[in-house]
Amino acid sequence: MSGSMLELRVCVTIGRGVVLAGNRSGKRDSMTEKSRAKRTMGREVLCGGLLTGLATGLAWSSVVELFSMDQRFSGTEFLTSLVVPGLVAVLVWKLWRTGLVNGVLVAYLTVLVPLLGMGAGGANVAQSTLGGAIAGIVYGSPWAIWRAFRPVAVHGGPADSTPTGTDFDEVDPTAVGFKIDGGVSPD
């Protein structure tokens, strides 16, 4: 058995529903390809911040321009325009998958600091879009740095009691240390 690896069929349940079912080989890697594809990296978060800031600058300044065509920008129009950064954050979150909280914070901080000042100074839509993109990078940087250097979360661990045969149909999930129906396994 020097060249073969033990393959284990794993079934994880939470409550009464099956969450994960599949084969698990004996080879341990710090981060599998599947989890690497799901994990958002620092550069992706930074690009998401850039995209959020850019889109917020473009959308918010366009809405302000639209509302102020009569040369008046009332409080009701201002409060209505504050919905736009939230919508931009949700749109970028759905398309880019960088985190909703990150996107909302970047979008509203972008409106708060550069865009309100630039709008009061008479900036046009192109200038506000550029200012929003720069602010998106600045406000997205802390999350990008955190995501780039955070430790990889390892869920589970080596199983103490695993089946020895490879021709089994089902494994008892308590044998590999998972919760079942609210109870905790013996591990």
The larger pLDDT score, comparing residue 122 to residue 19, is at 122
Among the ranges given (71-80, 94-103, 165-174), the one the predictor scored with the smallest mean pLDDT: 165-174
User: In which band, very low, low, confident or very high, does the pLDDT at 89 lie, cut at 50, 70 and 90?
Assistant: very high
Most confident of 35-44, 93-102, 109-118: 109-118
Residue 17 pLDDT class (50, 70, 90 cuts): very low
For the segment 122-128, the average pLDDT, to the nearest whole number, is 94
pLDDT of residue 126: 96
Report residue 187 as tokens.
Answer: 């591990």
Q: How many contiguous H segments (helices) and E segments (strands) does the chain have?
A: 7, 2
Structure-model confidence comparison of residues 81 and 187, the more confident one: 81
pLDDT at residue 15, rounded to an integer: 47
Taking the C-alpha atoms of residue 156 and residue 176, their distance in angstroms, rounded to an integer, is: 8
Q: Please state the domain extents for the chain.
A: 40-149
Give per-residue pLDDT as tens, 156-175. Answer: 544 444 555 555 555 555 55
Of 113 and 10, more confident:
113
Q: Which of 18, 24, 15 minimizes the C-alpha distance to 158?
A: 24
